[in-house]
Structure formats: structure tokens, C-alpha cells
Structure 1
């Protein structure tokens, strides 16, 4: 599944790539201090206080377009185990790339042929697309099929950087790619990263924390209000008989809701359903009607 708040952010076209002269480029290192431009604190505060994924996505796309990046691609696998990704139908993907391009990338697995994507699954920070497999600490070169190479060339996905994020738990991994226009050489991108790497990482990391915390519903994975309510009572330690009394329904009806919840989430046991619903941020969440804002992503099918 791909969830895409918007197909393309405004003002992403006709941006000139900001090339920082090499004599002004300062190598970035962990813990280095870089001055953030005015308005950064306001941007971060807006992202942190926003419950609408589409607005967060629009903000960060506008921000990165200011550096001249033509496209932004963000992917999150909530059920992954370290570098082993979960089921593609559970992926959360935001992208300014055309839908058919992202569809092909995900279904054909071309994103797995990227050195920096594999680096980002195991590391935190920003990696230039000039990074080699050896520099990334990978055991061997990442094989790129002829079809994969053709895909990247055909769509101009040639220069940019990839961002890896600190995992909040043992499950779940995310990565973000900032893609430069095809006619921009990689060393121009690297000059920007040398000076602004910490700022780019900070904004991307805050956006990731917020986007990955919002509820989203893969096609066919959305729990009904009753299914979610029953699961939440199970999480509170209540038996089916207890839940029936609390909700004013019969015990067989409780069991029916639990069965349908398991089927919806694609699992076989109720404990697994609880875990899966938690990964998908569908447990103990407020309703949009309670807050007056939209808190879920709008999915579109693969």
C-alpha cells in the first residue's frame, strides 16, 4: 500500500539548486554546530503541533524545495524487524514523485538496490548518493539489475541524499530521500550537505516522528470503531464476558468483532492483532471529530 497525502507539493518546480561555493563548505560531523536560518523554530513548532499528515508533508516539501531538491520521498515500514522490512501492503509512503513511478519502485523492489537506502536501515544521519557500498559498511556491493538501472535513469533519480532515522523501538524502520534535478551533479548536492546537513536532518527527523505517530489505514486494514473498542478493552485485561457487559452487547458479538479485527489486520491471534493495531497507530487514538483536525492519511492502492 502507498499512502500519499498529496501527489505533488506546491512550488516544487522551477527551483534553482543552491550551490554553496566550495570555499564556504564546512564539513559536517556529529555534534557540529550549524546556525539555523530564521523561521526554522516556527517550522518545527508547526510540525510538532500539527495533527494533519498532509499539512506536515506540505511543509517539509516546501522546506526542502528551498534547497533546490526537486522531489522528496519518505517511506516507513511499521512492522519491520531491523533491516528486514515488513509486508509491502503495510508501507506508509509519501512522495512528490508521480504515483506510477512510486508504484513501480515499490512493487519491483528497486528501492532495495540503493546503497544509501540499505545504509539508512542501519544508520542515523544523512548519506550522499556518492556513498559506495564499502563506505556504507555493507558486506558487499548492492546488485543493481538492468531493469533497476534503467528505472533510475529513465526517471532522473540520479543525484541526492538519503536520511536514516533513530528507531524508537525494535520494530519499524523509515528512510527519506531528497532528490535533486537530473542536471544537477552530485558534488553540488554534497556542497549543500556539507554546510546544511544538521538542519536538513533535524527537520526530516521531526517530520518522521510526527508522521509515523499518526494513525493511517492501509487498504483493507482499517478497524471499525467497534473492532477497535473491543481490542482496547482486551488490552485493558478484560475478558469477552466483561467486554459484553461494558459495551452492552452479547459475548458472541464480542467474539465476532475480535474475529473480524484479526481478519482485517491479517493475523491469526488476538494478541497479534493488538500488536499490529498498535504498529498501525489505530489503538487508543482520538477521533477527528473529537479534535476538529484530520489525523489519518488518505491511502491510495498499489
Structure 2
């Protein structure tokens, strides 16, 4: 089962495939509920990256809807602990007093007897965590016994999941700019004005402005300087590997 998962997740081409196989394997290991949350591009300030936690899981829908719509994970002790620690710990140990809204919500749904796994320092500029529980309203004793049996495998599977998700997202970002958008950002980065860039590329200034606007949108940037920075740190500018870009 574990070998099958390794082969399947390494060959997965979409987020959906990775999620399905990860949650399916957790269920085989005795944990029917799993939650993964991660943030990428941590080298950029929040004001520039504009990236919320990427999250998926099969916890009950009301719980998932609440933590996503109200962004409860960011302020949870689960997340704080995973930022500061490595390894794993019981959910109840991390927030025994239910001091955060996320923990109180989990307790109301009977999901507070699982384990939190920190994925800290696994990948540069990426942070993540995994939360697993056997089922709703499972006893802490049952959760601990299952963890003693399967905890090591779940840690390995979670690490592999984290690496694969980071790779898929990095590949997707690397394909987000067209060739023309990359060109106008590169010339802007060297200090060229819109008019100068238009002359260099043999197009109108309006066309340059259009591609700059599209590049800002593609990078979710508020201005051209932010788009240049985000494109640079994701290896989309000043690279000789042009085959990874759209030829438009």
C-alpha cells in the first residue's frame, strides 16, 4: 500500500490526484479525516505575495467551509505550533484550553483528538502542516493507539505530499507568463520605459501596456515592480530556459 502510494503521488499531475491518493491512503492507515495547509513563496512579504494558505481536506464540510471562509487556520494554535516546532503532537496537547476559534470549532465537531504534523523546514520558502484524526468523536486513546502503529508512515506520506504539492505549484507558476509578458517585464526591470520597450520589440506602446497589465494580473501583483519581483523569485525572468514558457 505504501509503495503504491509513493508511485502514484510521484506521478500525479494535478492537485486533485495528489489529494485523492493522500486521503485514500490515510483512510487505509486508520485515519479517515485529513487536512493539509501550506503557504508558498514565503521569501516575499505578505503585502507582495498576497497568498493565503492553500488548504484541502476531508474533514466535515461545515468545518472546512468555516476555516476557509473565515481564514481560521492562520490564527490557530495548530498553525502556530507547526511554525515553531518539528515532528508531531496531539491536537489536544497543542490547544488544551481551546483558546482559538479553530480549536473550539474542531471540538464542536469532535475533531480534536487527532494529531498535528509540522512540515517546517522541509522545503525552502514553504511552510505546511497536516492534521489527521481517526474519525469524528474518536477517543484520544484510540487516536494514540492508531498513531503508534501508523504515525511513522503518515509522517513520510505527509512529507512526500508536501514536496509534490510544492512542485506542482512551482511548475504552474513557471508557466503563468507568456513569452511577450516575460519580455516586457524583463525590459522594464532593466529600466526601459514603455516607449523604449515598444521600439525594442517593434510593437506599439499600447501593446506593451497591455502585456504589462496582463503580466501583473498573471502574477497577482499590484504594480509592475511587484510583478517583476514575483516573476524573478519564481524563475520566470532572465532565464535561458525558454521552452517552459508559452510561445504567444
Q: Same fold (TM over 0.5)?
A: yes
2:70 is the counterpart of 1:108: yes
Q: Note if contact 1:227-1:261 (Cα within 8 Å) is conserved in structure 2.
A: no
What number of residue pairs does the alignment pair up?
A: 235
SS of the aligned residue for 1:143 comes to coil
Identify, as 1 or 2, the structure richer in helix: 2
2:35 is the counterpart of 1:73: yes
For CA contacts below 8 A with separation 6 or more, give which structure has more relative contact order. 1
Distance in structure 1 (CA, Å) of the matches to 2:75 and 2:131? 14
For structure 1, list consecutive stretches of 5 or more residues without a partner in the other structure: 1-38, 135-140, 217-221, 289-302
Distance in structure 2 (CA, Å) of the matches to 1:142 and 1:156? 13
SS of the aligned residue for 1:194 comes to helix
Alignment CA distance shift 1:190-1:144 (3 Å): same
2:162 is the counterpart of 1:208: yes
For structure 2, list consecutive stretches of 5 or more residues without a partner in the other structure: none
2:13 is the counterpart of 1:51: yes
Alignment CA distance shift 1:100-1:176 (3 Å): same
| Match in the other structure for 1:276 | 230
**Alignment of structure 1 residues 183-262 onto 2, 5 Å:** 183-215=137-169, 225=178, 228-230=181-183, 233=186, 249-262=203-216
2:123 is the counterpart of 1:168: yes
**Normalised TM-score (structure 2):** 0.72
Alignment CA distance shift 1:161-1:224 (3 Å): same
Deviations 1:67-110 (A, max 9, x none): 2222211112224469x899776332212235553231134343
Q: Note if contact 2:38-2:53 (Cα within 8 Å) is conserved in structure 1.
A: yes
Distance in structure 2 (CA, Å) of the matches to 1:244 and 1:99? 55
| Cα drift, residue 227 of structure 1 | 6.6
Q: Note if contact 1:230-1:243 (Cα within 8 Å) is conserved in structure 2.
A: no
What RMSD in Å do the two structures reach over aligned CA positions?
4.1
| Cα drift, residue 60 of structure 1 | 0.7
| Cα drift, residue 236 of structure 1 | 9.6
